[in-house]
Amino acid sequence: MNKVALVTGSAKGIGAAIIEELASAGYDCVINYNTSEKEAFELYEKIKAYNINSLVIKCDVSHEEQVNNMFNIIEEKLGGVDILINNAAVDLPNLFSQKKVADFKKTLDVNVIGAFLTAKRAERHILDKKWGRIINISSTNGMNTYYPMGIEYDASKAALNSLTHNLAIEFAPYATVNAIAPGLIATESEIKDYDEEFMQMELDKILLRRMGEAKEVAKLVRFLVSDDASYINNSIIRIDGGQYNSV
């Protein structure tokens, strides 16, 4: 029986690349979306070529009832979640003077509380099977790359790194728990949101002088969920092309 991977926020961008990479490796995949229904079902059709079992489930991971319902469906149809990739995130950049408490709370609810809720719900199955993988998609913004316009996003990714370390202890010795911290990745939202001057300034901070690709992050995920990575645990792994002088 194939291992089952749930990738939250996987209709587009890095999440979609992870789904395709894991499907190509023979994992059964659950595509989760909240607003991008069209893209989620397009991805579902695309991965049919890999002859794996797959599901598409709408769920706002910041709501416990919806998370429980999503896991109930997965358990009923596929048996349970063996591999959890917490990728769902929101980023609401704005001038600091115009920041709203509601936006700060929403960012923390999705980016941190969402990962907590999915991990909590996955625990029963993983401890039962005595095997599991949890990967939280963090960011260099949670480590040493900071932008006051994204202050709540940066705070949420720092919190996600802390959550990763605590979950590694909680799930020991049966599951490995790691975080991946991408730098500047060429997703549609990244390219759309930044002007040419800002983009060049950021590229100048990267030793490889280019943006990363979503598929490069996906390949790292594929390695970390494999048996070849069975001794990598409780780590925050940067994938940023050699980003430096970021503060």
- Residue in the block written with tokens 């939250």: 8
Helix residue ranges per DSSP H, 79-227: 101-108, 114-129, 151-171, 188-193, 196-203, 214-225
Residue among 27, 33, 153, 244 flagged as catalytic: 153
Q: Which residues 6+ apart lie within 8 Å of 243 measured at CB?
A: 140, 145, 183, 184, 205, 206, 207
Tokens of 129: 């099977």
Taking CA 29 as the corner, what is the angle to CA 86 and CA 229, rounded to the nearest 5 degrees? 65
- 153 catalytic per annotation: yes
Please provide the distance, in angstroms rounded to a whole number, between the alpha carbons at the two ends of the chain: 47
Give the catalytic positions in this structure: 153
